[in-house]
Amino acid sequence: MQQQSDERPEAGGPAVVQYFKYSGDLHWRHDLVYLGDDGHGTWLGGPAGTTIQRGHEPPKRWPSPFVQLVAPGQWWTLFFNGDHSDDYRIYVDVITPATWSQGGRVEMVDLDLDVVLHHDGSVELLDEDEFLEHARLFSYPDWLVDRARVAAAELMIEVEARAEPFGTAGEPWLRMVEGNPSGS
């Protein structure tokens, strides 16, 4: 991971989101566009055709637009998808708090647990089995296991209640990237 700073790119500029696993292995990377900040945090946009990459697999293009909220000091990051996108309206990754480094790069450690809001309104906790496996395999400290579980439980309540930013906060940001496949 790079040295931490608090540099955000300029509006419309590129932002790189890099996830790691607790082992230090590369996980996901997204090449997004910096949209702006509000009271919830920093919003990044992924127009249709955004490049995403899992670990060392070949990059691929995501077919639909989405936005990602990086909230300072939080143990989660939020993806807000359009009605037509993906299986989920909202996808929340449980992570270590994200850090910004120079050049508009934000990094975080993925802690496996995910909370999702389906398009039908149901809320679900995903990847508990992966969390337990990785906690053992990567020797997560007890405090990290506890913190990840608390974050997931709190997220389930907040997403079910549609408490912001898990309600409609992402809609205006999503409109900024919908219909804009080039990201400009």
Interatomic CA distance for residues 47 and 3, integer angstroms: 28
pLDDT in tens, 113-172: 999 999 889 999 999 999 999 999 999 999 999 999 999 999 999 999 999 999 999 999
Of 4, 69, 76, 74, whose CA–CA distance to 30 is shortest?
A: 69
Q: Please give the Cα distance from 169 to 184 (Å, whole number).
A: 22
Q: What is the pLDDT of residue 82?
A: 72
Among 96, 38, 95, which Cα is nearest to 67's?
A: 38
Could you tell me the domains of the chain? Answer: 4-177 (2.40.380.10)
Q: What is the pTM of this model?
A: 0.89
Note whether 55 and 27 are within 8 A (CB). yes
DSSP H helices, 13-141, are 128-137
The per-residue pLDDT of the chain, averaged, comes to 90
Is residue 182 scored above 50 in pLDDT?
no
| Listed residue (138, 103, 102) closest to 27, CA to CA | 138
Tokens representing residue 71 in the block: 């909230």
Distances (CA, A) of 9 to 29, 127, 183: 17, 32, 14
Span 79-103, average pLDDT: 86
